[in-house]
Structure 1
């Protein structure tokens, strides 16, 4: 698991397990890194970790609205 690929947006201290994560949707640059190389102070995105759940009925605008309600540091 330590060498799984994770994704980090330029300038962020969050990492993502999924390249398709909505938390990366506005990132200008996304870097692929081995999980073992991510600095200790970086935290896993709440969407990727499952701490924040999207409903199956969410439409893109609802999803965008929910993301706007989050602290940007929690998802990006």
Structure 2
């Protein structure tokens, strides 16, 4: 997942990089960036958890015991 193309993250990065360190604006910009990255991370985790489980390897027969032949 490439978060560089996300407009929300791009805006947060731009805002955080323009803020002066040690100021309230700099701290707020950093917090907004962290929040945007946390939202992206939780979305990625949700997508990964939504993937179906791979079928188990066969336990009998000659096909699919050592190599998963499911396509």
TM-score w.r.t. the length of structure 1 is 0.23
Q: Return the structure number with greater strand share.
A: 1
Identify the structure with bigger relative contact order (alpha carbons < 8 Å, sequence gap 6+).
Answer: 1
Asked which structure has the greater CA Rg, the reply is 2
TM-score w.r.t. the length of structure 2 is 0.24
